[in-house]
C-alpha cells in the first residue's frame, strides 16, 4: 500500500466556533438595527414634509414624459426656454381638451357606476345563494357588505384622497401651479443638473452619481411612457368592447380603466371588476360574461405581451414586488402613494443593480487558493483522498 503524508487538521474548540458565529450574528444584527433606524427616520422626515415632496414627485413624473420632445427641439437649434415653453403649452392644451370633453360625462355618470356596481354585487350574492353552489348568506354577507361599502365610497374616497393630499397645506390651484412651474423648470434646465452634480461630487464619486442618476431617469421615463401607452391600449380595447356589447356607461368605464392602469395589478383588477358588475346590471349575465372575457384577454395581452415587449428589461421587477409596493404605498400615502410606489421601487432597484455591478467589477473571480485538505478530500469529480484502495483504483 502506498504511503501518503497528510498534514494534521487544525484543532479548534467548539466554544470558539460558536463564539465566532455569535460575533458575526451580532455585527449583522447591529447593522440591521442601524439601517432600520435610518430608514425609519428618512420615512418619518418624508412623511412630515410630504406636501413639499408631492409636487416635486409629480413634476418629475410629468417631466419624464415631456423631456424627450424638449431634448429633440434643443438638438434642432431651438433655445431651451422656448422649447420647454412650447412643449408645456402643447401638454396643457391636450390635457385641457381631454378634461373638457370627458369630465362632464365622467362626473355625471360616476354615481351611476357606483350604484350599478353595488347592484351587481347584490346579483352575484343572490346567484351564489340560489345557484348551484348553495352558499349561505352568512358566508358571504360580511364580504359583500365590505365590498359594497368600498365601492359606494370609491369615487368620493379617491377624490377626497387626492384633494386631501394636495390641499392640506394649501389649495388645489396653488399646488397645480407649483407642479406646472416645477415641470417647466425641470424640462428647461434638467440637462444641466447632472453635469453640475457630477462636478460637485468630485472625481471619485462624480461619475458614479451621474451614471446611476442617468439610469434612474431612463428607467422612470421608460416606465411612465410605457405605462401610459399600455393603459391607453387597455382602455381603448375595453372601451370598444363595452361599446359593442352595448353598455351605456362605456365612456366613464374606459376612463376608469385608463387611470387604473397606472396602479399595476390592483388598478387593472378593480377597474375590470367594476366593468363586469356594471354590465351585469345594465345588460345581462351573458353580456357580463362577454365583458369578463374581454377584460381577461386584455389583461393577458398586457401582462404577457405589451408590458414585457414595451418595457423590456428596464423594470425587471417581479410581480410580487410590484404588488407589495403598491399595497405599502397605498397604506402609507393613499392613492398617490399607490401611484408612486412602483416608480420608487424601480428607482431603488436601479440603484441596487448599479451597486451590484460595481461590486462585481471589484471582486476577484480568480480561483481560490488551493487548500491541501480541500483539494485532496473535496475536489469534485475525483475520489476522496481518504477513500479506500478500491475507490482510488489502487492495489494493496
Q: Report pLDDT for 337.
A: 75
- Whether the full predicted model's pTM is greater than 0.75, yes or no, is no
Q: What is the Cα–Cα distance from 303 to 294, expressed in whole angstroms?
A: 14
Residue 219, pLDDT > 90, answer: no
Q: Report pLDDT for 368.
A: 54
Q: Report pLDDT for 379.
A: 47
Residue 151, pLDDT > 60, answer: no
CB atoms within 10 A of CB 59: 20
Q: What is the Cα–Cα distance from 93 to 67, expressed in whole angstroms?
A: 17
**Residue 20 covered by a domain:** no
Contact 62, 94 (CB under 8 A): no
**Residue 394 covered by a domain:** no
Q: What percent of the chain has pLDDT over 90?
A: 8
Q: What is the Cα–Cα distance from 212 to 210, expressed in whole angstroms?
A: 6
The set of cell numbers assigned to 273 is 371588476
**Residue 16 covered by a domain:** no
Residue 319, pLDDT > 80, answer: no
Q: What percent of the chain has pLDDT over 70?
A: 67
Q: What is the Cα–Cα distance from 162 to 159, expressed in whole angstroms?
A: 5
**Residue 79 covered by a domain:** yes
**Residue 252 covered by a domain:** yes
Kind and range of the H or E element at 173?
helix 172-189
Contact 162, 335 (CB under 8 A): yes
What domain range is 281 assigned to?
Answer: 49-362
Q: What is the Cα–Cα distance from 54 to 56, expressed in whole angstroms?
A: 5
What confidence tens digit (pLDDT) does each residue in 101-147 have? 776 666 655 566 666 666 666 666 666 666 555 555 555 565 556 55
Band of the pLDDT at 200, cuts 50, 70, 90?
confident
**Buried b vs exposed e over 22-31: b needs ≥16 C-beta within 10 Å?**
eeeeeeeeee
Band of the pLDDT at 365, cuts 50, 70, 90?
low
Cα–Cα nearest to 309, from 374, 229, 377: 229
Q: What is the Cα–Cα distance from 274 to 256, expressed in whole angstroms?
A: 9
Dihedral over alpha carbons 361, 363, 367, 370 (to 10 degrees): 160
Determine the 3-state secondary structure of 71 from DSSP.
helix
List of residues 6+ apart from 199 with CB closer than 8 A: 206
What confidence tens digit (pLDDT) does each residue in 244-288 have? 888 887 888 888 888 877 776 667 777 888 888 888 777 777 888
Q: What is the Cα–Cα distance from 180 to 66, expressed in whole angstroms?
A: 12
Band of the pLDDT at 24, cuts 50, 70, 90?
very high
Q: How far apart are the first and last CA of the chain?
A: 5
Task: Work out the burial of residue 208: count CB atoms within 10 Å of its CB; fewer than 13 is exposed, 13-18 middle, 19 or more buried.
Answer: middle
What confidence tens digit (pLDDT) does each residue in 279-318 have? 877 777 788 888 889 888 887 877 677 666 665 555 667 7
- DSSP state, residue 364: -
What is the number of domains present in the chain?
A: 1
Q: Report pLDDT for 378.
A: 46
Amino acid at each position: 500500500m502506498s504511503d501518503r503524508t497528510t498534514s494534521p487538521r487544525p484543532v479548534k474548540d467548539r466554544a470558539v466556533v460558536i463564539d465566532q458565529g455569535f460575533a458575526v450574528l451580532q455585527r449583522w444584527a447591529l447593522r440591521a438595527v442601524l439601517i432600520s433606524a435610518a430608514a425609519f427616520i428618512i420615512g418619518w422626515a418624508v412623511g412630515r414634509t410630504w406636501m413639499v415632496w408631492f409636487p416635486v414627485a409629480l413634476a418629475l413624473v410629468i417631466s419624464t414624459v415631456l423631456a424627450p420632445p424638449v431634448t429633440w427641439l434643443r438638438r434642432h437649434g431651438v433655445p431651451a426656454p422656448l422649447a420647454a415653453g412650447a412643449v408645456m403649452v402643447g401638454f396643457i392644451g391636450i390635457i385641457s381638451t381631454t378634461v373638457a370633453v370627458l369630465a362632464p360625462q365622467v362626473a355625471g355618470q360616476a354615481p351611476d357606476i357606483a350604484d350599478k356596481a353595488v347592484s351587481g354585487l347584490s346579483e352575484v350574492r343572490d346567484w351564489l345563494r340560489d345557484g348551484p353552489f348553495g352558499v349561505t348568506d352568512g358566508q358571504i354577507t360580511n364580504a359583500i357588505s365590505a365590498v359594497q361599502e368600498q365601492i359606494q365610497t370609491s369615487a368620493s374616497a379617491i377624490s377626497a384622497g387626492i384633494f386631501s393630499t394636495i390641499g392640506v397645506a394649501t389649495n388645489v390651484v396653488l399646488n397645480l401651479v407649483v407642479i406646472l412651474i416645477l415641470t417647466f423648470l425641470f424640462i428647461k434646465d434638467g440637462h444641466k443638473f447632472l453635469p453640475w452634480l457630477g462636478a460637485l461630487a468630485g472625481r471619485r464619486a462624480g461619475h458614479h452619481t451621474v451614471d446611476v442618476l442617468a439610469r434612474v431617469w431612463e428607467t422612470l421615463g421608460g416606465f411612465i411612457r410605457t405605462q401610459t401607452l399600455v393603459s391607453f391600449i387597455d382602455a381603448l380595447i375595453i372601451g370598444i368592447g363595452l361599446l359593442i356589447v352595448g353598455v351605456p356607461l362605456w365612456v366613464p368605464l374606459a376612463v376608469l380603466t385608463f387611470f387604473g392602469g397606472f396602479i399595476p395589478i390592483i388598478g387593472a383588477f378593480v377597474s375590470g371588476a367594476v366593468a363586469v358588475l356594471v354590465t351585469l346590471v345594465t345588460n345581462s349575465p351573458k353580456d357580463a360574461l362577454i365583458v369578463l372575457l374581454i377584460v381577461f384577454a386584455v389583461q393577458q395581452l398586457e401582462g404577457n405581451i405589451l408590458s414585457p415587449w414595451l418595457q423590456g428589461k428596464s423594470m425587471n421587477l417581479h410581480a410580487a414586488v410590484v404588488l407589495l409596493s403598491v399595497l405599502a404605498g397605498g397604506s402609507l400615502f393613499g392613492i398617490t402613494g399607490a401611484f408612486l410606489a412602483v416608480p420608487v421601487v424601480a428607482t431603488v432597484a436601479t440603484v441596487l443593480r448599479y451597486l451590484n455591478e460595481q461590486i462585481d467589477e471589484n471582486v476577484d473571480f480568480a480561483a481560490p487558493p488551493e487548500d491541501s485538505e480541500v483539494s485532496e478530500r473535496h475536489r469534485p469529480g475525483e475520489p476522496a483522498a481518504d477513500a479506500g484502495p478500491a475507490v482510488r483504483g489502487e492495489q494493496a
